[in-house]
Structure 1
């Protein structure tokens, strides 16, 4: 989960380290009034915080320069924005207070609700409804992340990913176990994990984080959703994590960890991938950021969608966004939208996300030559791209999710390490989560 400024192999689902209090509602105390009527030919200067360094930053700078050349009246000051992606939220909050914030900023999806509640975001709902935006080409979870309360659209998807099942062919071959298939159930998964586990060689069938971080929590959501679980009540004031769906999902994991002893319990969030790469773990549930490391290590791996429950193969996606901000200036608003729309069009996305090894943002890119070339380099990316259809719902983006995630992450960690039973642990977590949701 740890992430500095992004490189492809690092996870994109963090960003829960800062509390909701960092961003307060500032509606009504915005920036000084700019242009009140749109003049598309007026000189405009925009500021963009990318949250990127290295190759991804260089590619974005090249794209910005290209856009400026095609639109001579538009200047875009582009920078990483902060020393680490996590620091962007704090910098945005400080900027809101001092009326010094960008027009466009990369943002973790988990921040979306906080950003909307600041009163500083643009609402581009009407614009993205236009046919040429092709909004439906973004996955359902990515669209929902950009629409945190369902009433406003505060930006465009920036990066998408999902959890898929990655399996180590060397470990499977050594144990004489058939490779996973796309129609596997969790019963099939458990059976294989048990057969792959060998205490004499310290080889495990599966691995799971018990750090209590968001890594612990987001790995749990597919199990929970496939059992019919709903994370929040309709009014988002109470958690539903202690429901039958939650108890059943955690019980299944507990039985694998305690009874079968087939799960490597990772306290670090990082060691399990290293052990997988060195042929000590048979299966992990992870995403595209891992494939670079496995390619480098020479690991013989395969990828399929997650096992399912009664044919339901839902996964979880860590979509991030390009958030757009309001400076009370029609010209800046217009060009911030136009540039971000251009940046996330398929032609440009193939030159940024696809080029640096991420999944394509849009469904129309899956058959592109650019993505096919990446699949040759990193086998399994195509399966992960296809798996985006199983990312049917986003993690909650409301501020209270931070506390909810910490509570359920702690509960899962304790149960998998033999401390408490699933029902009691989740009921205790729900009590803590409900307080966080209502603070």
Structure 2
């Protein structure tokens, strides 16, 4: 599957142009209030295009699933061939496709794009469809359902679910004579532990953080913000620069600047391998890291995020299969049927669980496939249980990508000792004020 460490990132040079293209599309909305699949004939011959966003082995899995579906539905052809955009390119390609009329029927999308995609006017309204009893919409986590909803309409179905927790190196804890983290620990405990795990002479750090300014930088702050009682937005007004936001960023600043216990990764791509090689004691990451850890053969375990006053709220970064409207009821209906099949418990075992991701539906927790997954991927059960702490979701509003970049830059400045939390967050809020739309 696509590496979620890079979730929500855009190639920086294309960000402004991409959002401008999406803004231009908003004026040409195809949303006329009519159900895109009204009059769908399930026996009609139809071709749908699937942008999987996957590469290499995951793409082969996708092609195999497409072949399996079309074998059972010979009237449907699914184009899921190699050469479709990879995930980092998808938003730019979708935006250009909206302008030229060459966008797909279904596409992988980072959840942080939902607001912009929903505002494009090109998505199907799936609200009634997913609420049909046979779909099992409530089997998805609340955060996943919320991220799939933009402007009050469901525009896609969850493709991947995850959350953030702490993965720790047991060997380094043993060497430092430290007890392993318990699920009731606090951020004060985390800071103290990180300091004790830091050994400058060995280039060993207690923890790590991305300072690339990407969404990987930004969404690591949101759990702290929520635990302290803060919010990202107040309506369409940035609210992350509240006292709660300042306190949250100050917690991270102390670890990075005062204690120098935090490895600062300029790229998003280094801190995972450094943890796997034994140079970082604790890594705040998600279940996507388990596949690499399995290969690294590291003695590790997983604990909940540290808490504030007993609140261990985390953040989930659900990705989506977004369904688009081409003013063709048969294409819309066939795409819905395929998405329902693809995200069923039976098919998900061949897709997410097969490549190390968490199951999409809570009903999968009793399946043989999930038992195999938890046996194969240490920490998988903890990450699955931690979905209960994903009580909030990132806003699905147009302009979130711009807000995220501004907040990410602010965090990076603070953690590198170049700014103080309040001034940095205030500046980010000011720059984001005109970007966010409901």
TM-score, normalised by the number of residues in structure 1: 0.92
Q: CA deviation at 1:35?
A: 8.9
Q: Tell me if the contact between 2:37 and 2:333 (Cα under 8 Å) persists in the aligned partners.
A: no
Q: CA deviation at 1:7?
A: 4.4
Partner of 2:149: 147
Deviates more, 1:181-190 or 1:169-178: 181-190
Equivalents in 1 of 2:5, 2:425: separation in Å?
30
Partner of 1:132: 134
Q: CA deviation at 1:148?
A: 2.0
- Residue 106 of structure 1 aligns to a residue whose secondary structure is strand
Root-mean-square deviation (CA), in Å? 2.2
- Residue 436 of structure 2 aligns to a residue whose secondary structure is helix
Partner of 2:436: 437
Equivalents in 2 of 1:290, 1:65: separation in Å?
29
- Residue 350 of structure 1 aligns to a residue whose secondary structure is helix
Instruction: Identify if the C-alpha distance between structure 1 residues 322 and 29 changes in structure 2 by more than 3 Å, giving closer, same or farther.
Output: closer
Partner of 1:3: none
Q: CA deviation at 1:80?
A: 4.7
Equivalents in 2 of 1:181, 1:140: separation in Å?
26
Match of 1:12 among 7, 22, 47: 7
Q: Tell me if the contact between 2:2 and 2:53 (Cα under 8 Å) persists in the aligned partners.
A: no
Matched, 1:272 2:266: no
Match of 1:39 among 34, 38, 41: 41
Q: Tell me if the contact between 1:164 and 1:287 (Cα under 8 Å) persists in the aligned partners.
A: yes
Q: CA deviation at 1:81?
A: 5.8
Q: CA deviation at 1:9?
A: 7.3
Matched, 1:224 2:219: no
Partner of 2:422: 423
Equivalents in 2 of 1:9, 1:109: separation in Å?
11
Partner of 2:54: 52
TM-score, normalised by the number of residues in structure 2: 0.92
Instruction: Identify if the C-alpha distance between structure 1 residues 178 and 95 changes in structure 2 by more than 3 Å, giving closer, same or farther.
Output: same
Equivalents in 1 of 2:350, 2:118: separation in Å?
29
Instruction: Identify if the C-alpha distance between structure 1 residues 39 and 7 changes in structure 2 by more than 3 Å, giving closer, same or farther.
Output: closer
Q: CA deviation at 1:8?
A: 5.3
Partner of 2:294: 295
- Residue 223 of structure 1 aligns to a residue whose secondary structure is helix
Equivalents in 1 of 2:293, 2:69: separation in Å?
35
Q: CA deviation at 1:322?
A: 0.6
Matched, 1:200 2:201: yes
Matches within 5 A, 1:62-81: 62-80=64-82
Instruction: Identify if the C-alpha distance between structure 1 residues 220 and 276 changes in structure 2 by more than 3 Å, giving closer, same or farther.
Output: same
Instruction: Identify if the C-alpha distance between structure 1 residues 438 and 122 changes in structure 2 by more than 3 Å, giving closer, same or farther.
Output: closer
- Per-residue CA deviation, residues 233-281 of structure 1 (Å, 9 max, x unaligned), is 12x1x20111011011011111122222221222222222222112221
- Give the total of aligned pairs: 429
Equivalents in 2 of 1:138, 1:267: separation in Å?
34
Unaligned stretches of 5+ in structure 1?
A: 1-5
Partner of 1:86: 88
Partner of 1:254: 253
Q: Tell me if the contact between 2:5 and 2:268 (Cα under 8 Å) persists in the aligned partners.
A: no
Q: Tell me if the contact between 1:109 and 1:318 (Cα under 8 Å) persists in the aligned partners.
A: yes
Equivalents in 2 of 1:46, 1:326: separation in Å?
11
